[in-house]
Amino acid sequence: MKAYRLLILGLIALLLFGCKEDSGTLADDEAGSVSEIIESMTGARLRVEVAETQVDLTGVVPVRVTMLWGEGVSVELIEPDWIGAGWAYVTQRGGEIRFDGTEYSQVIDFELEPFLGGEYEVPSIGIRADSDEAGRRIARLSPIGIVVASVLNEADGRDLEPAVGLAEMVAASDVQRINWGLWIGLGIAIVSGLVILWLRVRRSEDRHESIDPKTLLVIAADAEELSDVDLGALHKALVVLSKDHGQLRSISHEIERERFSGSAVNHQRVQSAARRAVEVCTGSGALR
């Protein structure tokens, strides 16, 4: 009778274990994050290590994906949509399958590069495990949040001194009468000026949109000084071209630092960077 009861309890435990959802573990520290999941029916494991969960805009986020499985099981990585998650560039290395006599392993390293500051995430990564006994099974990990800090720090800015001190404003209000007509006219003039400036910037941006990125590089390489709009157009052209020419990424970061450093733009440095970008593209045949 006892053996019969033990058999029933064993079957119930087996059913509960086999039907439960796969669960992942997550470990966070100041430097990064590690998460792991085991597919219960096949024993296949997926481990995702994110080296940094807080990076600067000019940095990269290293992500290591490790898959482990035993004999009789085949495992395939379910790679997420990196670009759809907002990452500008993704570099992939590794992927060789190894066998240590006990189990198989495959390690794939990704480097994620953001385009703008803000909140990103390493999207849900999964595995598809297959065996004769369990059939095809899928296990996924939850996304991991990443914070990308802007290259600008609070210390990069500078406090502007008020044109008139508070004490002077109080004294003036005691002896002078406010001319509301003057203030209204001044407000209208400011608003009109802002509208005109915005229209000019839009026309300038539209003009840059019609110029081929490769041509923009040549123009910037010959120009001794670029306006803010031209500098932005150069930065955008480098970003577009670096998709086909990886060497341009570091030059793009140089231009980005010049744009957002908070200091005066070093136009000689910008021109030098543009000329190096032209050399890179010319060497690869892009501008021929």
DSSP string, the chain: -HHHHHHHHHHHHHHHHHHSPP-EEEEE-SS-EEEEEE-TTT--EEEEEES-SEEETTS-EEEEEEEEE-TTEEEEEE---TGGGT-SEEEEEEEEEEE-SS-EEEEEEEEEE-SSSEEEEE---EEEEEETTTEEEEEEPPPEEEEEE-S--GGGS-PPPPSS-HHHHHHHHHH----HHHHHHHHHHHHHHHHHHHHHHHHHHHHHHTS-HHHHHHHHHH-S---HHHHHHHHHHHHHHTTT-TTHHHHHHHHHHHHHSSS---HHHHHHHHHHHHHHHHHTTTT-
| pTM of the entire predicted model | 0.47
* pLDDT at 6 (0 to 100): 43
Residue with tokens 């990269």: 60
**In this predicted structure, what is the pLDDT of residue 142?**
92
Q: Could you state, in order of their start, the residue ranges of all structural domains in the chain?
A: 23-149, 183-283
Q: How far apart are CA 68 and CA 74, in angstroms?
A: 10
Distance CA 48, CA 68 (A): 12
Indicate the CATH number for domain 23-149: 2.60.40.10
Per-residue pLDDT of the chain (288 residues; tens, 9 = 90+): 444 454 444 444 444 434 333 445 444 445 678 999 999 899 999 999 998 888 888 888 999 999 999 999 999 999 988 888 888 878 889 889 999 989 999 999 999 988 888 888 899 999 999 999 889 999 999 999 999 887 655 444 444 344 444 444 444 444 444 455 666 767 777 876 665 665 555 554 444 455 777 787 788 888 778 787 787 888 788 888 877 888 888 888 888 887 777 778 888 888 888 899 888 888 754 443
Amino acid 224: pLDDT: 79
Spatial contact of 281 and 214, defined as CB atoms under 8 Å apart = yes
> Residue 173's pLDDT is what?
44
In this structure, the strands spanning 45-50 and 61-69 are antiparallel
pLDDT of res. 274? 85
Neighbours of 190 (CB within 10 A): 10
